[in-house]
Amino acid sequence: MNYRAPFGTSVRDKLKHRIAARRPIVPVAVADWFAYPFSSSARACKQIGAALLFLVALPALAQNWPAKPIRIITSHGAGGTVDQLARTIADEFGRAFGRAFVVEARVGANGDVAAEQLVAAPADGYTLMVSPHGAYVTNMFLRKQSFDHATAFAPITVLASVPLVLVVHPSVPASNLAELLAWLKAGDGRVNYASQGIGSSGHLAMELLMRQVGFKAVHVPYKGTGPATLDLLGGTVTMMLDTATTALVQVRSGKVRGIAVAEHRRIAQAPDLPTIAETIPGFEASPWYAMSARAGTSQEIVERLAAEWARSVARREVQERFTKLGVELQTTTPGEFREYIRTEYEKWGIIIRASGSKNE
């Protein structure tokens, strides 16, 4: 079974905006010596010696990795997609590398708490992070950060994505996307929509849709999918973009109407449901999950981890486990993941700035 990565047909040709270049990994001793070349010869010799020892040790550190248990910091608690991915990685990688991979949840600030833990750890490959896209891209536009997203991470691989489904209350006089958009444009901004919170995937995807189509709607943010869904079922809000995992349950029960999928292609869970892109070419907005290490981690370690995830995804047991959850597993190289972050940075930066969204 072939798994698509979000690169190829789904990569957007929007790489105009560059994230600030990462600082090279230069030992402090080397940097100090070049900054102060006229320091005493004894000090210079010590600095050069320390630098050479550091550089000589790097290949050995990578070759001996892993020599102890590895932490996987997660941004969300037990039971969700992030936790399921992290525990699958822990099981698969534990067998492959012969060391324990221990999952530790650091919940809060849509992934920033976990990211801060990763940034504070040594760049030795013994601390990894599994988190949704917020920690990598959108959070930096929504709240003040204690670290620089452009230089903080060593991207390893995109792990998975979950399709979003546009659903409406049954009272809405539209059975397809074209009818819905016509109705929304005629509503002159009086219609509202629910999201899982400010900066959530459902919120930003709807902002993208409004920008591309040219209609207005009132955003009603909730604290999670549960309360948002309840108000949609009750008619308090009109529509929302929700993950296929939860949205399709309500669609099949007849409690809401499914309109379209925010993917570039139709999904296996609902093949009769058209994509938004079939009406609005190029539209795609799916939450994704990824794994990274601290910036400065050996590239050899990073590439070994990415390759092992690709091998894990190829296993039928892993495929079936996530298919049941409505999660689409993906694999990328570290380089592809880095480019994807840059593309997403540009795309969502434009949307968030235009919307004026903040979540301090």
Q: What is the pLDDT of residues 138-187, one digit of tens each?
A: 888 888 888 887 789 999 999 999 999 999 999 999 999 999 999 999 98
Single out the residue of 163, 162, 156 nearest to residue 331, CA to CA.
156
Percent of the chain with pLDDT over 70: 82
Residue reference for tokens 């991207």: 155
For the cut 50, the answer to whether the pLDDT of residue 70 exceeds it is: yes
For the stretch 306-333, pLDDT in tens is 999 999 999 999 999 998 888 999 999 9
**In this structure, which topology does domain 164-278 adopt according to CATH?**
D-Maltodextrin-Binding Protein; domain 2 (3.40.190)
CA separation for the pair 184, 189 (Å, rounded):
7
Answer yes or no: is pLDDT of 3 > 60.
no
Identify the H or E element spanning 316: helix 316-323
Start-end ranges of CATH 3.40.190.10 in the chain? 164-278
How confident is the model at residue 324, as a pLDDT? 83
Which stretches within 155-266 are classed as H helix? 177-187, 201-213, 225-234, 244-253
Q: What is d(CA 204, CA 250) in angstroms, rounded to the nearest whole number?
A: 22
pLDDT tens, residue by residue, 107-133:
887 788 999 999 999 999 999 999 999
The CATH 3.40.190.150 portion of the chain extends over 63-161+287-355
Going by their DSSP bridges, the two strands 70-74 and 127-132 should be labelled as: parallel
Q: What is the pLDDT of residue 56?
A: 52
Euclidean distance between CA atoms 178 and 190, whole angstroms: 18
The predicted structure's pLDDT at residue 15:
32
Q: Measuring CA to CA, how many Å separate 303 from each of 8, 104, 157, 206, 298?
A: 20, 23, 9, 35, 9
Q: Which fold has domain 63-161+287-355?
A: D-Maltodextrin-Binding Protein; domain 2 (3.40.190)
Closest listed residue to residue 152, CA positions, set 169, 175, 129: 129
